[in-house]
Amino acid sequence: MIRCFAINSHKMLRKFHESIYCTFQCDLVLFSWSYFVTILKQFANDNYKNESGIDFRIFNREKEHNMEDNRRTGSRSEGPKLPPTGTRVNESWRANRKTQTELRMPGSNVTVESKVRERQVEEERRTRMEMQRRKREMEEQQIRQRQEADRAGLQEDDMDNREGRTNTKQNRKGVSKKEMARKKRVKRLWMILGGEVLLLCLLLIAFTAHYANTKLNQLDYQEIEIGDLAINEGVEEKTNEYTTIALFGLDSRDVTSDKGNRSDTIIVASINNETKEVKLVSVYRDTYLELENPDGNYTGCYTKITHAYAYGGPKAAVATMNKNMDLQITEYVTVNFASLTDVVNDLGGITVNVDEAERQSVNVYLPETAQIAGMSYTPLYGTGDVTLDGLQAVTYCRIRNVGRGDIERSERQREVLSAILDKAKQSDLATLNQILDDVLPQISTSLSRKELLALMADVLEYELTETQGFPFVYRITYAMDETLGQDLSVDIPANLENNVLLLHEFLYDANIEPIGGGATADSSQTADDSLGNSGFTEEGTAEATTTEAIDEEDLYKPSAEVLRISNEIQTNTYTTPPEDPAFRGAYN
């Protein structure tokens, strides 16, 4: 019995050893197989590359990781088929699976799985570095190509890069040499065209400057000193927003002579420097005023203002107007009747309205005008709206033995001047150039070339708004001309102070105190004879206006010189103003 037990125990122990040995052998086989598989994978990873040396399986690495997680968790997904959920799995299979996961590398505590992952991460890192290296090489190659294109003169003018923007895609592709050469040629053509336009502009400026200089050289320049112009104290402060110029018309062919020629036409032009509006005032040539002559001849004598130019030239004429009218005239322009004749002839004549009395008077004085101008004349036959030639237009401006004498004469002069300006605006450049060539040699002025060019630059902006005659209220009578020592027919400004107030209101929009109200019935007919002279109503009264209270400092008041001259004129000529202070025009 004991022997049987020993035998059975020996058999059972032998089977136990055999079982353990088999299990050990199984584990050894599994370990060897796993290690062999790992070596195969490593070998495959080292050789599974494309020709460029880049392992493209890195893009499927995420998928492989998901498959590995599925194998661990036992969930269903893409990859190797695993036992379905709920199926009973042999305990030995689970043990073998655990053994495979926890396999160690020989002689190390590092698991096979972690080692594989390390190798995969290392391969990914090497692949990224390889891609970055190739990208850098490509960019460096493009830089070398652009540098070579610069040396060859075929660099593309990349507008996007110049503005701070980059186009990486376009830079990678590059631009062909042919395309860059074409763009270079286009750029060169634009540069040539721009240079030609710039050269043309410079030539145009040079031609304009030469043309203006050539034309202005034909003028006679006469410089006058400000101290010789008798500008009354305080006038500068009230008229500095305007440019005031005196225009003189002589009945002589020589405009360069300072003395000996009477000014048949005297016009004061006021230019608003801001709005460019122009207003003209014709000073009647027989106006009785105190002469102011910087040369000393007849200074302080009372005479016709037309004599001032004859006694002291333009300086005396300008100084006389400044002193008697509180003006600030610093520049003048003098023309003769011959120049007016040339202007009208170059324009092809001007159209004005002529009545029968004026036609007859023109024909009477035409021979005298023709003799002064040195030309032949053609008599005037028509009336109404007729076209006058140069001599006829000048004679039409000079006659004063019809109508209201010097008053209508000034109106005719303004009418002719306005017609000339309107006709000149419609003329071509050739006609205007001919006018300049004919007129400029017959003009004398104190304006410098710089001042003339400044005025000419705004010539198209000037607008002639109104014209007027001075004095506004005057008496036609005889008075002693102290320069000649005899009585002459003159226009005496009744109350020069009020006339100067009205003058500044017209020329400079000055604020003045109201001079008077409505006219009396007795003065209505007298004022009706001077219609068109001052812009007043037919009854001889000033148009009714409503004035508001004005600050005393803003009111214009005549200077002490004007007040003195006004009192002396009334005392010496025994002239009293009309009873109606609102009366405008001529009276006896």
pLDDT at 526: 37
pLDDT at 371: 82
The pLDDT tens digits for 246-255 are 999 887 655 5
Nearest residue to 502 via CA among 472, 474, 531, 532:
472
Judged against a pLDDT cut of 90, whether residue 268 lies above it is answered with: yes
Region 221-234: what's the mean pLDDT?
Answer: 85
Whether omega for the bond prior to residue 84 falls within 30 degrees of 0, making it cis, is: no
Judged against a pLDDT cut of 90, whether residue 80 lies above it is answered with: no
* Range among 12-26, 79-93, 105-119, 565-579 with highest mean pLDDT value: 565-579
The residues with which 279 forms a beta bridge, in sequence order, are 270, 466
For tokens 């990208």, what's the residue? 135
* Range among 229-238, 256-265, 308-317, 418-427 with highest mean pLDDT value: 308-317
Please state, in angstroms and as integers, the Cα–Cα distance from residue 17 to each residue in 30, 96, 122, 245, 426, following that order: 20, 20, 45, 141, 135
Residue 428 DSSP SS3 = coil
Model-level pTM?
0.59
Q: How many angstroms separate the CA atoms of 493 and 470, rounded?
A: 9
* Range among 2-6, 54-58, 322-326, 413-417 with highest mean pLDDT value: 322-326
> Two tokens at 348?
């092809």
Cβ–Cβ under 8 Å, residues 290 and 565: yes
Judged against a pLDDT cut of 70, whether residue 242 lies above it is answered with: yes
Cβ–Cβ under 8 Å, residues 471 and 325: no
pLDDT at 524: 36
Q: 552 or 437: whose pLDDT is higher?
A: 437
* DSSP, residue by residue, 498-566: HHHHHHHHHHH--B------PPPSTTHHHHHTTTTSSS--TTS-PPP-------GGGB----HHHHHHH
The residues with which 384 forms a beta bridge, in sequence order, are 354
Judged against a pLDDT cut of 60, whether residue 218 lies above it is answered with: yes
Judged against a pLDDT cut of 70, whether residue 158 lies above it is answered with: no
> Two tokens at 243?
């440019």
Task: Indicate the residue type of 144.
Answer: R
Judged against a pLDDT cut of 60, whether residue 230 lies above it is answered with: yes
The pLDDT tens digits for 177-206 are 777 788 888 888 888 888 888 888 888 888
> Two tokens at 399?
């006659």
* DSSP, residue by residue, 38-98: HHHHHHHHHH---TTS--GGGGGHHHHHHHHHHHHHT---SSS--PPTT----HHHHHHHH
Nearest residue to 440 via CA among 269, 263, 216:
216
* Average pLDDT taken over every residue of the chain: 75
Judged against a pLDDT cut of 70, whether residue 224 lies above it is answered with: yes
Cβ–Cβ under 8 Å, residues 375 and 345: no
Range in 17-31, 273-287, 530-544, 550-564 the model is least confident about = 530-544
Q: Label residue 66 by pLDDT band (50, 70, 90).
A: low
Contact partners, residue 190, CB within 8 Å, separation at least 6: none
Please state, in angstroms and as integers, the Cα–Cα distance from residue 424 to each residue in 295, 346, 371, 471, following that order: 39, 10, 27, 30
Percent residues over pLDDT 90 in the chain? 11
